[in-house]
Structure 1
Amino acid sequence: MRVLLTGSSGWLGRFLAPLLANAGHEVTGLDIAPGLHTDVLGSVADAGLIERLFAERGFAAVVHAGALHKPDIVRYPASAFIDVNLTGTLNLLEAAVRHGAGRFVFTSTTSLMITRAIRDEVAAEAVWLDEASGPLQPRNIYGVTKRAAEELCRLWHDVHGLPVIALRVSRFFPEDDDTHAVPAGENLKANEFLNRRLTVEDCAAAHIAALDAAPRVGWGVYVVSAPPPFTPADAARLKTDAAGLIAERFPEAPALYAARGWVLPQSIGRVYDPSAIERDLGFRCQTDFAAVLAALREGRAMPFTHDPGYVPPKELGR
């Protein structure tokens, strides 16, 4: 199948492109920055370019992973987010329908589910977040444009019958967090596998599962994150005694963390629930918190990437 992959030079794209090729697809990578898997340099906001590519290459599917992200808020004006995240998605949807593409996968984000109150963790217990959570009130231009793009995807399915799956993926970036410095580095990422992180490898695999399932599903929105070792019944204790609860579920965790000089979270304010994608698509992330502990126990490298020096390819020339 001929597939257009946007964002092919980005962190996700560099893992997703080989998976698509290994699955037998003929992949055209589109990005504004050069990369190993990028065939065409250009922006999804360029409607003329998108039309020419569809006309010339006859794509049967689109995997739309290209976007401006939350850290880009300090680099680009709000209008750039509208151009890329919203107008770019519209350009792709319109071209997909016009040229008869049979499936569309959109990389969305769990960030659009986070209101200011959820971010500030003002609730007395942890907030359990799944596809039914709401009302959705994104707290920044990134979340607003991703939410609006999801609605475009839904509308194009409703009006035109285009099979679309939107994946609300949780954190998988390799660099340090741009807002949280404690705990630092790998410790923070390891903790997040309890409630709001996945590996880039699992993120890429989720896109393959969505691409395969799109014609059967028709329209779907799915949270994608490492499966949490908690249930909604744990919400109150997660907010007040997360470390104690983690120690009960994983008795070796405190000692393994202490040997590394790490700390367990004392409070967890939100949990992403990926059970729907496992139920509907049969997809489950391979790396979870238990895998992190296994690596600590066996003295292996962490099963996720931490690269504090990572710079997005689109920023290298700026």
Structure 2
Amino acid sequence: MRILLTGSSGWLGSALAPRLKALGHQVVGLDPVASAQTQVVGSIADRDLVLRTVGDNRIEAIIHSGALHKPNIEHHENADFVATNVQGTLNLLDAAVASGVQRFVFTSTTSLMISRAIRAGLTGGARKAAWLTEEMSPEPRNIYGVTKLSAEHLCRLYHIEHGLPVVVLRTARFFPEADDMAHAIEQSDANTKANELLFRRLTVEDAAEAHVAALEKARGLGFDIFIISAPTPFRPEDCEALIADAPSVVARYFPDYPRLYARQGWTRFSSIDRVYDPSRAKERLGFVCRTSFADVLAALAVE
């Protein structure tokens, strides 16, 4: 297929473009930043550029991973987020319809699922961890989440009105930067990210593979939304104990976990406040992340 990949110079795009090419696809990368994976340097907010790029390259599928992200809030106005994340998505959807594109994959975020009320509970003595699935009605807490949810709604609308097959992937954390959580200050980056694989993280390689799976299944699914995160060992009935004593819950599933962490000099999250449940992606998309917390422990066991 001839695929337009937005965000091609970013962390995900840099992993995804080579994977798509290895599968035999022709990839046109579009990004404001030049890179080896980017053929068109520019913004998705530039409507004429988007329409021209999709039409001139006879694009058959669009993977839309380009966006302003949460870290950009400090340096960009709300209008910038709307222009890129909302208007940019609309431009791509219009280009898709105009050119007869048959598959559209949108990279969204689990961040939009954390409302101010949930955040207040998570930081203010919640009685149990939040168990988060696609069934909940998001109420985003910042401009990043608001614009990503708005883009999701546009994707749904264009499926309804134009029959455009769209798969929305709400990805958990896979960024390479050090964690911004308070307890990360006391832990190494590898330690923190290993802990997060239990409930809110995946590797960038798995994120790329999820997009490949979504691309393949888009026409059959029509429209769907999936949480993409490493498989969690936890169950909803664990949520109270996860708040009160997370290490004991983890040890029930992984008995060697305390010993392996102690040998590594790693610390454990004393409390886990949310769990993203990716089971729907397994059931309907046929996708499961390859790397899980169990793989981290297996690697520690042989060190």
Same fold (TM over 0.5): yes
Q: CA deviation at 1:265?
A: 1.1
Q: CA deviation at 1:117?
A: 3.0
CA deviations on 1:143-202 (whole Å, 9 max, x unpaired) are: 000000000000000000000000000000011123433434111111000000000000
Among 271, 274, 287, the alignment partner of 2:291 is 287
Among 254, 276, 283, the alignment partner of 2:280 is 276
Match of 1:87 in 2: 87
Matched, 1:163 2:165: yes
CA deviations on 1:25-75 (whole Å, 9 max, x unpaired) are: 110001000111111100000001011112211100000000011111111
Listed as ranges, the matches of 1:189-228 within 5 Å are 189-228=193-232
Among 123, 127, 131, the alignment partner of 1:124 is 127
Match of 2:75 in 1: 75
Cα distance between partner residues in 2 of 1:59 and 1:244:
51
Q: CA deviation at 1:264?
A: 1.2
Contact 1:62 1:103 in 2 (8 A): yes
Match of 1:146 in 2: 148
2:255 is paired with a residue whose SS is coil
Listed as ranges, the matches of 1:235-250 within 5 Å are 235-250=239-254
Q: Alignment identity in percent?
A: 54
Which structure carries more helix by proportion?
A: 2
- Are the structure 2 counterparts of residues 73 and 12 from structure 1 closer, same or farther at C-alpha, using a change threshold of 3 Å? same
Match of 1:41 in 2: 41
- Are the structure 2 counterparts of residues 182 and 113 from structure 1 closer, same or farther at C-alpha, using a change threshold of 3 Å? farther
Letter in 2 for 1:46: D
Q: How many residues align?
A: 298
CA deviations on 1:265-313 (whole Å, 9 max, x unpaired) are: 11111000000010011100000000011111112xxxxxxxxxxxxxx
1:12 is paired with a residue whose SS is helix
Listed as ranges, the matches of 1:7-46 within 5 Å are 7-46=7-46
Cα distance between partner residues in 2 of 1:24 and 1:109:
28
Match of 1:133 in 2: 136
Matched, 1:50 2:54: no
Letter in 1 for 2:301: R
1:66 is paired with a residue whose SS is coil
- Are the structure 2 counterparts of residues 76 and 179 from structure 1 closer, same or farther at C-alpha, using a change threshold of 3 Å? farther
Cα distance between partner residues in 2 of 1:248 and 1:178:
28
Match of 2:238 in 1: 234
Cα distance between partner residues in 2 of 1:206 and 1:189:
19
Cα distance between partner residues in 1 of 2:181 and 2:39:
34
Structure 1 window deviating more from structure 2 (269-278 vs 17-26): it is 17-26
Letter in 2 for 1:154: R
Cα distance between partner residues in 2 of 1:179 and 1:156:
37
- Which structure 2 residue ranges, 5 or more long, are not aligned? none
Among 180, 183, 203, the alignment partner of 1:178 is 180
Among 260, 266, 270, the alignment partner of 1:262 is 266
TM-score, normalization: structure 2? 0.96
2:158 is paired with a residue whose SS is helix
Cα distance between partner residues in 1 of 2:188 and 2:82:
33
Structure 1 window deviating more from structure 2 (21-30 vs 182-191): it is 182-191
Q: CA deviation at 1:22?
A: 1.3
Match of 1:315 in 2: none
Cα distance between partner residues in 2 of 1:259 and 1:117:
39
Contact 1:44 1:50 in 2 (8 A): yes
Match of 1:64 in 2: 64
Letter in 1 for 2:283: R
1:166 is paired with a residue whose SS is strand
1:4 is paired with a residue whose SS is strand
Cα distance between partner residues in 2 of 1:131 and 1:55:
34
